[in-house]
């Protein structure tokens, strides 16, 4: 397979894609601008013809791998297929041509969509009020924690600065807590792969601001003690924060609000099929129970008695504005279309199918891999290479690289941190059985190769445009810009 040079390495001096019309302003730029504002030397821009530019980007696009090209089982990330009808809806000119500063009277349709989406998300999560503003999951976490901190402060409860985070948590949880100025306390998992209740009991107290938890957790296991955990934390005066990264396992079956959570963030770019990865944009709405609604960021999309929609800024206890304008509106349109297309029964079926797919794969892989916490899983599961593979000197990284040769995106690796050599696989609901089987077959074949010919894995990938990258060299000695010949 070929690689593609950089734009700067293509073309020739003087070559142009198109010709600008002659300048109708007399004189030169220097005649109009102070000397300090003028370039001393010409910008070293690439010089190419139009067809060279088109071919360059077409080559790059053909090397891209996404959910539209193949299976993408990145655990915890929910890289689900994004139905094309959502794109068509989001591209409607009524949405794309809407300026964020038009008066609300001229944006009633967009506001109605946002209002309804708030209501749907509240219903799906069992919450009372929702903000659509956060631009991504971690931004949602930060917003949720700011709301929790504001709640405790409003009650004069100033000592609550600790956020309890299980050791299986997403790395963003402790990071968001630290960003919000709170102190992180780690809670260990027990031998079931669930939160250690005794350790939680020992950690909660008058300094507990909140427990952050995802359920199912990052091992893909349902925290069956969730009600006892909620009681423990609430009895101590703390709140429960739900990381919505794993909501795809439970839609229509159970709700964070019913489990006792006070705050939840969602990832529209995961669970609600908005495009994901490649820099976004994402969307991380936050839902809260009644007692926290006053602290939501402004503006909140509201409806008056006459059925008109408006942006409510009159909320004295708000944590303030956390995003320019109203969040990533285009992502909301896609999520709205997704929810309306599937309906309540369709969302439930999506979760059921996601869980079934994961359990099917786990059952197929169980005889060939180590399953550290072997129970019925939810929408994702964690396995590790068997002993004989490790003894052959082959690591999870080598297996992940070898999967590329078989034409698959690798699963999440080395996460969660509590499993040695972890591989975390999340198939999502839309994959046909043939794809699940092909991926399992590839993993099983690779486990066999690892023992018979470990070098093949150490050298992998073999069939990609570039071979194994020197990640260590890149991290220790980063070269961050192109410097020419």
Partner 1 sequence: MEFPTNLYYSKDHEWVEVEGNRARIGITDYAQESLGDIVFVELPQVGDELAAGDSFGVVESVKSASDVYAPVGGKVVAVNEALLDSPQDINADPYGKGWMIELEMSDPAEVEDLMDAGAYRQLVKEEKGE
Rounded Cα distance between 381 and 222, Å, is 11
- Exactly one of 16, 366, 420, 448 binds partner 1 (CB under 8 A); that residue is 420
CB nearer partner 1, residue 384 or residue 450: 384
Contact flag: residue 471 with partner 1 (CB under 8 A): yes
Number of residues that bind partner 1 (CB under 8 A): 13
Stretch near partner 1 under the rule CB under 8 A, chosen from 135-143, 253-261, 413-421, 453-461: 413-421
Measured CA to CA, the distance from residue 362 to residue 405 in angstroms comes to 22
Indicate which single residue of 2, 99, 476, 485 sits in contact with partner 1 (rule: CB under 8 A): 476
Q: How far is the CB of 392 from partner 1 (least distance, A)?
A: 15
Nearer to partner 1, 421 or 429 (CB): 421
Query: Pairing relation of β-strands 208-213 and 239-243?
Result: parallel
Write down the least CB distance from residue 453 to partner 1, Å: 22
Among 143, 137, 146, 238, smallest CA distance to 187 is for 238
Q: Under the criterion CB under 8 A, does residue 414 sit at the interface with partner 1? A: yes
CA–CA separation, 381 vs 415, rounded Å?
A: 11
- Contact call for residue 475 and partner 1 (CB under 8 A): yes
Point out which span in 10-18, 317-325, 447-455, 469-477 binds partner 1 (CB under 8 A): 469-477
| Member of 54, 60, 88, 417 binding partner 1 (CB under 8 A) | 417
C-alpha–C-alpha distance, residues 73 and 81, integer Å:
11
Distance CA 36, CA 22 (A): 26
Residue 393: other Cβ atoms inside 10 A: 12
Binding status of residue 40 toward partner 1 by CB under 8 A: no
Q: How far is CA 252 from the centre of its chain?
A: 21
Interface residue with partner 1, options 36, 472, 479, 480 (CB under 8 A): 472
Choices 15-23, 49-57, 398-406, 467-475 (CB under 8 A): range interacting with partner 1: 467-475
User: Interaction with partner 1 in 370-409: which residues (CB under 8 A)?
Assistant: 370, 372, 384, 387, 397
Give every CB contact of residue 463 below 8 A, 6+ residues apart in sequence: 1, 404, 405
x/- mask, partner 1, residues 343-372, rule CB under 8 A, reads ---------------------------x-x
Specify whether the backbone of 48 is left (phi greater than 0), alpha (psi in -120 to 50) or beta.
beta
CB–CB of 411/75 below 8 Å? Answer: yes
Minimum distance between the CB of residue 424 and partner 1, rounded to whole angstroms?
13
CA-closest candidate to residue 425, choices 218, 250, 282: 218
Q: Does the footprint of partner 1 cover residue 185 (CB under 8 A)?
A: no
Answer yes or no: are the C-beta atoms of 258 and 264 closer than 8 Å: no
Which residues lie across from 212 on neighbouring strands? 241
Q: Which residues bind partner 1 (CB under 8 A)?
A: 370, 372, 384, 387, 397, 414-415, 417, 420, 471-472, 475-476
């Amino acid at each position: 397979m070929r690689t593609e040079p950089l734009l700067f390495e293509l073309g020739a001096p003087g070559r142009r894609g198109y010709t600008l019309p002659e300048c109708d302003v007399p004189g030169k730029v220097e005649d109009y601008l102070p000397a300090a504002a003028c370039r001393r030397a010409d910008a070293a821009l690439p010089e190419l013809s139009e067809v060279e530019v088109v071919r360059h980007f077409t080559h790059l696009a053909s090397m891209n791998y996404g959910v539209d090209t193949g299976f993408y089982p990145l655990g915890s990330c929910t890289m689900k297929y994004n139905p094309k009808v959502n794109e068509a809806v989001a591209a409607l000119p009524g949405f794309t041509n809407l300026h964020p500063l038009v008066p609300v009277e001229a944006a009633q349709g967009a506001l109605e969509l946002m209002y309804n989406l708030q209501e749907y998300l509240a219903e799906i999560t069992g919450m009372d009020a929702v903000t659509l503003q956060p631009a991504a999951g971690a931004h949602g976490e930060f917003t949720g924690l700011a709301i929790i901190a504001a709640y405790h402060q409003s009650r004069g409860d100033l000592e609550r600065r600790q956020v309890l985070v299980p050791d299986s948590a997403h790395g963003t949880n402790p990071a968001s807590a630290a960003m919000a100025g709170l102190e992180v306390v780690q809670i260990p998992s027990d031998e079931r792969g669930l939160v250690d209740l005794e350790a939680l009991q020992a950690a909660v107290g008058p300094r507990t601001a909140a427990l952050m938890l995802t359920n199912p957790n990052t091992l893909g296991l349902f925290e069956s003690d969730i009600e006892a955990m909620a009681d423990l934390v609430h009895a101590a005066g703390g709140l429960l924060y739900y990381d919505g990264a794993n909501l795809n396992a439970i839609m229509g079956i159970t709700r964070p609000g019913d489990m006792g959570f006070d705050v939840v963030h969602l990832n529209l770019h995961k669970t609600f099929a908005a495009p994901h990865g490649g820099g976004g944009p994402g969307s991380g709405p936050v839902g809260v129970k009644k007692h926290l609604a006053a602290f939501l960021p402004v503006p909140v999309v509201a409806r008056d008695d006459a059925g008109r929609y408006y942006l409510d800024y009159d909320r004295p206890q708000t944590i303030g504005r956390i995003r320019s304008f109203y969040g990533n509106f285009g992502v909301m349109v896609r999520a709205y279309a997704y929810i309306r297309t599937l309906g309540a029964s369709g969302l439930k079926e999506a979760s059921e199918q996601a869980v079934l797919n994961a359990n099917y794969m786990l059952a197929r892989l169980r005889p060939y891999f180590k399953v550290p916490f072997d129970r019925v899983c939810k929408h994702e599961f964690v396995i590790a290479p068997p002993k004989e593979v490790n003894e052959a000197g082959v690591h999870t990284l080598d297996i992940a690289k070898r999967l590329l040769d078989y034409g698959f995106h690798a699963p999440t690796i080395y996460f969660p941190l509590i499993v040695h050599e972890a591989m975390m696989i999340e198939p999502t609901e839309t994959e046909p059985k043939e794809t699940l089987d092909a991926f399992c077959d590839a993993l099983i074949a690779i486990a066999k190769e690892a023992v018979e010919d470990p070098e093949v894995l150490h050298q992998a990938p073999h069939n990609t445009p570039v071979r194994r990258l020197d990640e260590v060299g890149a991290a220790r000695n980063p070269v961050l810009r192109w410097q020419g010949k």
